[in-house]
Structure 1
């Protein structure tokens, strides 16, 4: 008979980590429209779907271990040396690997207050301390980030554009941040929403990665129609790529994902339609909702963050939308913005539905 008082014990700090909270979905079989996870409103690239089906003919074999098929496509389209690319099981996989590689006991990682909620999880899991820095009007503050750097700082996490706010830093500001860092601090530019940015002063980060020895850029396919396939990719200096490749899983991207990702990368027409649709309805919804009772923070991503007078009003708005079959993201529990809701850009019908419901709610209140 075993003694239940004696059992395997997690490493110190693991049970202090709050788990990641995904956006809510509708009940199985419901017709609810999910606007809580920033997924593609136009589905998946037809070319990616066909490539995924083709992979079904080869499910008995291991995938090529370095994701060469996918790296080749990414290098071709984005003008990158394929040897500087690492692919992963979603960008979360790569973020975890970066934390595991460059953070440890006694180290610190710096992030802005409302940055992606995965950053504290992976930092603490590596035994390091997360340092959260206050923002200026829901936008990362370069001076505040630099002021938070100490001799213990090893990593800066920067989502650009940021989730859940949709705000971004210009190329000049990102470069100013990098210029203020010691060369032994790794700047991680998380460009998960880069496909949707239309701001002229934005840079995805590739040029800076090419110029510096302490910058990496992380991307994902999840926002462009392949969330279910779990594909992420990273570009970095040769020494970072070498370190990550030493500890990543040898077959961490499955063959269907590799083939679908390569096809999606080359399907520039579908990606352009997705970007155009998003810009049109993001700007339309922002204009429709922004008022004395609702503030929409300007967004460059495929979602908007709406701020209500208080947390009670935000909760009422969430429930009202949910009751009408529109599920958005509550951002109080994960991000500490209880008066806000994050709304993914969806179909025209969904956007008009959200606007009509929230505007009517404001008039009633």
Structure 2
């Protein structure tokens, strides 16, 4: 059974009288804060805070999006026919089992709205994606947090917190912001132990980057089980973050439920066109993944050589740990790096105040990060970039 600390009961401020007020639970939601991008004036910025593709988007996707801009007076295809067909071809799916969203975030929110209500619970891991908590609270449910083991999702901890009130289990694999993953055998074990009435949501936003033989995105389970869905995004390896595009595959009955609440025309025409082109540009994806794999190894080696710990990651980002020693903390490192134009992600909102998340960037950005961390740990002036 969950302990008192596992269940995140909403806490709301007092409500004044005489004006419209949101329903109970809304004011208990802490708004999602995205990775920052601002740097001091005159400093070249390197945004490494949002896990974006350093190569941008596929030229084919850019061309398709540009062509779509010539039809701005027309509504987009509300059924996302061409994109769903492209996804179906890529993965050998039935297009009728695919739902397209305004980013995978919208799909996560729709899943919560469809399956969670007041008195229901949604479970996720301690350092899981912040949107899970927001989606559960928005739906009127109660978030339940399962502790992790070595910054990795703990299947047994999740199962211990499943009760008759549990409706959804959200699991990011790989997880953001830790970069860790569960082997597919562990995903199978989790699914096998869940009651059939509990929906398992496998968030595979970073699946394209994983190069481990024991990893599985969850596609197989989503196609064969009645209580599993898998979500994916075009924001990461495909470089379409600005267009907000994601997709989900799952059982026909879950797809039917989401289609009933999905906003009409929820995805714009440029996103639909760019997504259909991007998913077929395998050469661009392969180059992006190869760059990421090579630089992940280099960055880990060089950062650890400086004396900092790095959590092993299979995604396109690294979680770097800093000591609590004054002058060497994550907060001070963030300020130092920002002064150099290097914007990393503070992750105290994930319960990780002593770490920063570094998106793997271009070669130039990666080398600047290594040099800046070396200077920071040596106590040098952050503005002495040419020293």
TM-score, L = length of structure 1: 0.96
Partner residue, 1:267: 281
The answer to whether structure 1 residue 354 and structure 2 residue 366 are counterparts is no
The answer to whether structure 1 residue 336 and structure 2 residue 351 are counterparts is yes
Partner residue, 1:143: 156
Alpha-carbon separation, structure 1, partners of 2:314 and 2:77:
35
Q: SS of the counterpart of 1:222? A: coil
With over 3 angstroms needed to count, the CA separation of the structure-2 counterparts of 1:281 and 1:226, relative to structure 1, is same
Structure 1 residues 56-79: Cα deviation after superposition (integer angstroms, max 9, x where no partner) = 222111111111111000001111
Structure 1 residues 308-340: Cα deviation after superposition (integer angstroms, max 9, x where no partner) = 1128511111111100110000001x2111100
Moved more, 307-316 or 180-189: 307-316
**C-alpha contact (below 8 Å) 1:115/1:162 kept by paired residues:** yes
Alpha-carbon separation, structure 2, partners of 1:25 and 1:258:
27
Q: Which residue of 277, 281, 301 corresponds with 2:315?
A: 301
Which ranges of 4 or more aligned residues in structure 1 deviate by more than 4 Å?
27-30
Q: SS of the counterpart of 2:279? A: helix
Equivalence map 1:1-365=2 (5 Å): 5-26=17-38, 31-223=44-236, 224-291=238-305, 293-310=307-324, 313-332=329-348, 334-364=349-379
**C-alpha contact (below 8 Å) 1:311/1:340 kept by paired residues:** no
**C-alpha contact (below 8 Å) 2:43/2:340 kept by paired residues:** no
Quote the offset at 1:166 in angstroms: 0.2
Q: SS of the counterpart of 1:287? A: helix
The runs of 5 or more residues in structure 2 that have no matched partner are: 1-15, 381-387
Quote the offset at 1:361 in angstroms: 2.3
**C-alpha contact (below 8 Å) 1:311/1:338 kept by paired residues:** no
**C-alpha contact (below 8 Å) 1:26/1:33 kept by paired residues:** no
Structure 1 residues 140-168: Cα deviation after superposition (integer angstroms, max 9, x where no partner) = 00111111111111100000000000000
Alpha-carbon separation, structure 1, partners of 2:304 and 2:204:
26
Alpha-carbon separation, structure 2, partners of 1:44 and 1:205:
25
TM-score, L = length of structure 2: 0.91
With over 3 angstroms needed to count, the CA separation of the structure-2 counterparts of 1:345 and 1:186, relative to structure 1, is same
Alpha-carbon separation, structure 1, partners of 2:30 and 2:23:
15
Alpha-carbon separation, structure 1, partners of 2:364 and 2:44:
14
Structure 1 residues 16-48: Cα deviation after superposition (integer angstroms, max 9, x where no partner) = 111101000125886211000000111110000
Alpha-carbon separation, structure 2, partners of 1:219 and 1:227:
12
**TM-align CA RMSD:** 1.5
**C-alpha contact (below 8 Å) 1:304/1:345 kept by paired residues:** yes
Moved more, 110-119 or 51-60: 51-60
**C-alpha contact (below 8 Å) 1:108/1:153 kept by paired residues:** yes
Quote the offset at 1:293 in angstroms: 3.4
Q: SS of the counterpart of 1:266? A: coil
**C-alpha contact (below 8 Å) 2:46/2:342 kept by paired residues:** yes
**C-alpha contact (below 8 Å) 2:167/2:197 kept by paired residues:** yes
Aligned length: 361
With over 3 angstroms needed to count, the CA separation of the structure-2 counterparts of 1:292 and 1:353, relative to structure 1, is closer
With over 3 angstroms needed to count, the CA separation of the structure-2 counterparts of 1:311 and 1:196, relative to structure 1, is farther
Alpha-carbon separation, structure 1, partners of 2:259 and 2:339:
47
Alpha-carbon separation, structure 2, partners of 1:361 and 1:53:
43
**C-alpha contact (below 8 Å) 2:306/2:374 kept by paired residues:** no
